[in-house]
């Protein structure tokens, strides 16, 4: 008897639940037919599909390590004219335009947001990157997507350190004392001439980023010759065989057509020139990756909203990191562009990777 | 079935957030799906970060209107629910919910308002907009409310704020804003209004404080007690109504000059 009762109750429950969902769907159909009772013009925008309230639990998703968050090769599943803009699929022209507008919006708070998002670690990454580049005193460097000048200023500082200049402010030529010192130490004269040979060109798609960079150069005291050029990494406005080194820090994932940017890099470098790229990459360790994903998707857009009043740009940032090729795939792409001796090095468990190749 | 209905408001067949999402610890990291254009689904942890961060930002930099907007959206769940229910119970409010009218330069013909009789609501609103050099388009869209109906209520609140100023006769300086915030706080219960009303006067200079205490606050508190709910007024159907008649209808005394 008891078992029978239990069975009956269970059956009733099942029927109720089924009935509930059945009636629910009936309500949907009925209300959508009667336009007079609840006439709601679609003022609030497009109605999305009926959502399921079991919801999107990002915490669980990140623990399950869903591979849809990452793809090892961005190019295989797309047309030749299409690329990714975060998790959206767009045409290549559109990506360039949208990237341009993202950086116009974030330029003012770009450096502050970098510090907040990475806890200041991005400075260490960039210091290490320039250290690895080991710029020589008379280098001709092209810094692509280097808008606010982080890599540029570090390279100039590195060169100053090489020359033994400790202050940030360059030597004042009209100062008599310094001229006297220069006469005594003839070595300094040679170094001074060498330093004048060093030239850094900064190329960026966004004029706002370049103007922030110019202001920073003034406040930080880098009055050396820096060329600030507005241009597209896919079509560099420079002649062939011009530069000793090409650096691109955190810019390659914003480029719509990566092979094209790589072949442009190959074109403008002198034979023997070095290509160096600093970019967010794949974290191998799955536990660390889940923490990293959780932090990225939960907190970074929130910080973007609070500090820069821009949720969407930072949502794009964290999605574009996931869509960028992993270390090995990117290495193959660089080799395909013609570079040789391509190596990569992971920083911070693979959060960032440095790729380096030579035009030989 | 009843269990199913209690769990969620079924509004035109779509399930939306109805009970406080944070009651279950697992739900602290759960989001709803995207429900309307400009909607950014956020979970409880993100909402708490957003509300704390935007509160600090709006105190330190009052020019950041987006921070104030985000603060209102992330902390206003219960208050919005109350306003919604209040509007449903009232006949005029129910019509607003059914029609969901918007106030922006596309839906409101500013020139028509200018041509209306001098002491009508429409003309006073037009005067308010031109004197203070604001447009009804300057309001940000709602992004962080996880319920389509409540998002509309929030949007309505933002868009009729200027009309509240007009009816209450309050200018857009600090004194006027604090007075409007008091009345909104008692009528809507939004935490953002309450904190604006309580902490706004901390920034007054001595002369403003004197005016506030002697002239403005008594009138404001009487209006809070007596006035009928302003959110339930269908302003778009009352453009040609005499503004003094409207004030009498809503039990609003003649505002002091500040």
**pLDDT tens-digit map of B87-102:** 999 999 999 999 999 9
Which homologous superfamily is A2-358 in? Vaccinia Virus protein VP39 (3.40.50.150)
Q: Which residues contact B206 (CB under 8 A, 6 or more apart)?
A: none
A53–B contact, CB cutoff 8 A: yes
Q: Which residues contact A184 (CB under 8 A, 6 or more apart)?
A: none
A307 CB neighbours in chain B (<8 A) are 53, 57
Residue A74 has pLDDT above 70, yes or no: no
A59 and B143 in contact by Cβ < 8 A?
no
pLDDT band at A194 (very low <50, low <70, confident <90, very high): low
Task: Tell me which residue in B1, B14, B49 faces A19 most closely, judged by beta carbons.
Answer: B1
DSSP type of residue A170: P
Q: Which residues contact B104 (CB under 8 A, 6 or more apart)?
A: B136, B137, B139, B159
B75 and B54 Cβ atoms separated by less than 8 Å: no
B50–A contact, CB cutoff 8 A: yes
A47 and B14 in contact by Cβ < 8 A?
yes
Task: Tell me which residue in A45, A60, A302 faces B37 most closely, judged by beta carbons.
Answer: A45
A245 and A130 Cβ atoms separated by less than 8 Å: no
pLDDT band at A228 (very low <50, low <70, confident <90, very high): very high
Lowest mean pLDDT among A9-18, A100-109, A189-198: A9-18
Asked if residue B177 belongs to a known ligand binding site, the reply is yes
Tell me, yes or no, whether B154 lies in a domain. Answer: yes
What is the reported pLDDT for A81?
82
> Could you tell me how far CA B212 lies from the centroid of its own chain?
22
Report how many Cβ contacts below 8 Å link chain A to chain B. Answer: 124
Residue A187: phi and psi, rounded to 5, are: -60, -35
The answer to whether the pTM exceeds 0.80 is: no
What is the reported pLDDT for A8?
64
pLDDT band at A39 (very low <50, low <70, confident <90, very high): very low
Task: Tell me which residue in B10, B37, B100 faces A41 most closely, judged by beta carbons.
Answer: B100
A15–B contact, CB cutoff 8 A: no
A57 and B26 in contact by Cβ < 8 A?
yes
A34–B contact, CB cutoff 8 A: no
What is the reported pLDDT for A251?
94
A38 and A28 Cβ atoms separated by less than 8 Å: no
Give the integer Cα–Cα distance in Å for A170 and A166: 10
How far A310 CA lies from chain B's nearest CA (Å)? 10
Tell me, yes or no, whether B31 lies in a domain. Answer: no
How far A186 CA lies from chain B's nearest CA (Å)? 55
A53 and B57 in contact by Cβ < 8 A?
no
Asked if residue A245 belongs to a known ligand binding site, the reply is no
User: Which residue of chain A has the CA closest to B99?
Assistant: A40
B45 CB neighbours in chain A (<8 A) are 298
What is the reported pLDDT for B200?
85
DSSP type of residue B1: -
Q: Which of A61, A302, A308 has the highest number of chain B CBs within 10 A, making it the mutation to test binding with B?
A: A302
Tell me, yes or no, whether B161 lies in a domain. Answer: yes
Kindly state the tokens that stand for A6: 């239990």
Q: Higher model confidence: residue A31 or residue B123?
A: B123
B70–A contact, CB cutoff 8 A: yes
What is the reported pLDDT for A229?
94
B98–A contact, CB cutoff 8 A: yes
A86 CB neighbours in chain B (<8 A) are none
Tell me, yes or no, whether B119 lies in a domain. Answer: yes
B88 CB neighbours in chain A (<8 A) are none
Short-list A347, A340, A333, CA closest to A282: A347
Short-list A276, A250, A258, A261, CA closest to A352: A250
- The partner residues of A85 in beta bridges, in order of sequence, read A88
How far A264 CA lies from chain B's nearest CA (Å)? 38
User: Which residue of chain A has the CA closest to B49?
Assistant: A302
Residues in chain A: 360
B34 CB neighbours in chain A (<8 A) are 48, 51
Give the integer Cα–Cα distance in Å for A176 and A189: 15
Kindly state the tokens that stand for A5: 């009762």
Q: Count the alpha carbons within 13 Å of A80 in the hemisphere toward its beta carbon.
A: 2
B12 and A302 in contact by Cβ < 8 A?
no
Residue A281 has pLDDT above 60, yes or no: yes
Give the integer Cα–Cα distance in Å for A201 and A140: 8
Q: Give percent of chain A above pLDDT 90.
A: 53
B177–A contact, CB cutoff 8 A: no
A55 and B32 in contact by Cβ < 8 A?
yes
Q: Count the alpha carbons within 13 Å of B140 in the hemisphere toward its beta carbon.
A: 17
B43 CB neighbours in chain A (<8 A) are 58, 298
Q: Structurally, how many domains does chain B consist of?
A: 1
Lowest mean pLDDT among A228-242, A255-269, B22-36, B196-210: B22-36
* Domain limits, chain A: 2-358
What is the reported pLDDT for A276?
97
Return the C-alpha torsion angle B72, B77, B79, B81, nearest 10. Answer: 140
A32–B contact, CB cutoff 8 A: yes
Residue A186 has pLDDT above 70, yes or no: no
Residue A296 has pLDDT above 70, yes or no: yes
E runs forming strands in chain B = 9-11, 14-16, 30-31
Question: Residue B210's CB: how many other CB atoms inside 10 A?
Answer: 12
A49 CB neighbours in chain B (<8 A) are 33
Short-list B150, B146, B149, B154, CA closest to B31: B146
DSSP type of residue B242: B
What is the reported pLDDT for A192?
60
DSSP reduced 3-state for A115: helix
- Condensed to tens digits (0 to 9), the pLDDT of residues A122-166 reads 999 999 999 999 999 889 999 999 989 999 999 999 988 888 765
B102 and B159 Cβ atoms separated by less than 8 Å: yes
B41 CB neighbours in chain A (<8 A) are 56
Q: Count the alpha carbons within 13 Å of A187 in the hemisphere toward its beta carbon.
A: 3
How far A23 CA lies from chain B's nearest CA (Å)? 9
B100 CB neighbours in chain A (<8 A) are 40-41, 43-44
Residues of chain B below pLDDT 50: 1-15, 25
B157 and B26 Cβ atoms separated by less than 8 Å: no
Asked if residue A232 belongs to a known ligand binding site, the reply is yes
Q: What is the 3-state secondary structure (H, E, C) of A311-346?
A: HHHHHHHHHHHHHCCCHHHHHHHHHHCCCEEEEEEE
User: Which residue of chain B has the CA closest to A17?
Assistant: B1
Q: CA B58, B61, B67 angle in degrees (round to 5)?
A: 35
For A94, the enclosing helix (H) or strand (E) is helix A92-106
Residues in chain B: 258
Q: Please report the residues numbered 143 through 162 in chain B whose beta carbons come closer than 8 angstroms to any beta carbon of chain A.
A: 143, 148, 151-152, 155
What is the reported pLDDT for A69?
46
Give the integer Cα–Cα distance in Å for A132 and B65: 44
Residue A203 has pLDDT above 80, yes or no: yes
B33 and A45 in contact by Cβ < 8 A?
no
Q: Which residues contact A147 (CB under 8 A, 6 or more apart)?
A: A103, A107, A110, A202, A204, A206, A209, A210, A212, A213
Kindly state the tokens that stand for A359: 């035009």
Q: Name the burial class of residue B17, with classes exposed (0-12), middle (13-18) and buried (19+) by CB atoms within 10 angstroms of its CB.
A: buried
What is the reported pLDDT for A67?
45
Q: Name the burial class of residue B26, with classes exposed (0-12), middle (13-18) and buried (19+) by CB atoms within 10 angstroms of its CB.
A: exposed
Q: Which of A305, A316, A319 has the highest number of chain B CBs within 10 A, making it the mutation to test binding with B?
A: A305
B100 and A58 in contact by Cβ < 8 A?
no
Instruction: Give how far Cα A286 sits from Cα of A283, A292, A293, A328, A331, Å.
Output: 7, 10, 10, 17, 22
Instruction: Give the range of the structural domain holding residue B95, as residue numbers without chain letter.
Output: 44-250
């Amino acid at each position: 008897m008891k078992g029978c009762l239990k069975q009956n109750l269970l059956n009733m429950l099942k029927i109720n639940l089924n009935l509930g969902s059945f009636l629910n769907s009936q309500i949907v159909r009925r209300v959508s037919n009667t336009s007079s009772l609840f006439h709601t013009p679609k003022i609030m925008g497009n109605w999305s599909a009926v959502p399921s309230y079991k919801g999107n639990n990002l915490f669980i998703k990140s623990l399950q390590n869903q591979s849809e968050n990452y793809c090892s090769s961005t190019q295989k599943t797309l047309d030749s004219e299409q690329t990714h803009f975060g998790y959206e699929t767009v045409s290549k022209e559109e990506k360039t335009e949208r990237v341009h507008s993202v950086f116009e919006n974030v330029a003012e708070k770009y450096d502050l947001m970098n510090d907040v998002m990475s806890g200041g670690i991005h400075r260490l990454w960039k210091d290490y990157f320039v250290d690895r580049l080991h710029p020589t005193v008379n280098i001709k460097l092209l810094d692509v997507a280097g808008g606010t000048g982080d890599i540029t200023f570090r390279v100039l500082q590195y060169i100053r350190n090489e020359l033994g200049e400790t202050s940030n402010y360059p030597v004042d030529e009209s100062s008599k004392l310094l001229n006297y010192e220069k006469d005594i130490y003839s070595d300094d004269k040679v170094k001074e001439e060498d330093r004048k040979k060093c030239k850094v060109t900064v190329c960026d798609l966004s004029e706002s980023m370049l103007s922030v960079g110019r202001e920073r150069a003034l406040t930080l005291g880098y009055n050396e010759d820096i060329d600030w050029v507005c241009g597209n990494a896919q079509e560099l406005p420079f002649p062939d065989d011009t530069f000793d080194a090409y650096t691109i820090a955190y810019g390659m994932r914003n480029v719509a057509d990566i092979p094209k940017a790589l072949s442009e890099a190959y074109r403008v470098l002198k034979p023997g020139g070095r290509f160096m790229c600093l970019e967010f990459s794949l974290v191998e360790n799955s536990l660390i990756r889940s923490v990293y994903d959780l932090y990225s998707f939960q907190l970074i857009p929130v910080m973007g909203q609070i500090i820069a009043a821009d949720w969407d740009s930072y949502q794009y940032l964290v999605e574009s990191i996931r869509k960028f090729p992993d270390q090995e795939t990117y290495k193959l792409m660089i080799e395909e562009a013609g570079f040789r001796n391509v190596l990569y090095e992971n920083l911070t468990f693979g959060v960032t990777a440095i790729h380096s190749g030579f035009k030989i | 079935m009843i269990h199913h209905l209690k769990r969620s408001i079924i509004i035109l067949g779509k399930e939306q957030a109805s009970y406080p999402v944070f009651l279950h610890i697992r739900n602290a990291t759960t989001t709803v799906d995207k429900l309307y254009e400009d909607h950014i689904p956020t979970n409880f942890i993100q909402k708490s970060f957003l509300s704390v961060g935007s509160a600090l930002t709006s105190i330190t930099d009052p020019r950041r209107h987006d921070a104030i907007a985000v603060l209102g959206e992330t902390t206003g769940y219960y208050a919005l629910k109350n306003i919604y229910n209040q509007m449903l119970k009232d006949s005029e409010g129910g019509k607003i919910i059914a029609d969901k009218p918007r106030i922006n330069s596309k839906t409101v013909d500013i020139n028509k308002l200018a041509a209306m009789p001098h002491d009508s609501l429409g003309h006073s609103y037009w005067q308010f907009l031109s004197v203070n050099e604001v447009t009804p388009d300057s309001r940000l869209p709602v992004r962080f409310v996880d319920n389509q109906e409540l998002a509309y209520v929030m949007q309505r609140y933002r868009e009729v704020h200027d009309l509240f100023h007009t009816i209450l006769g309050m200018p857009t300086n600090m004194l006027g804003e604090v007075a409007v915030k008091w009345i909104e706080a008692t009528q809507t219960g939004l935490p953002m209004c309450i904190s604006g009303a309580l902490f706004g006067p901390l920034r007054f200079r001595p002369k403003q404080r004197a005016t506030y205490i002697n002239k403005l606050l008594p009138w404001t508190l009487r209006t809070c007690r007596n006035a009928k709910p302003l959110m339930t007024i269908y302003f778009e159907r009352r453009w040609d109504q005499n503004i003094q008649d409207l004030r009498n209808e809503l039990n609003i005394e003649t505002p002091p000059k500040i």
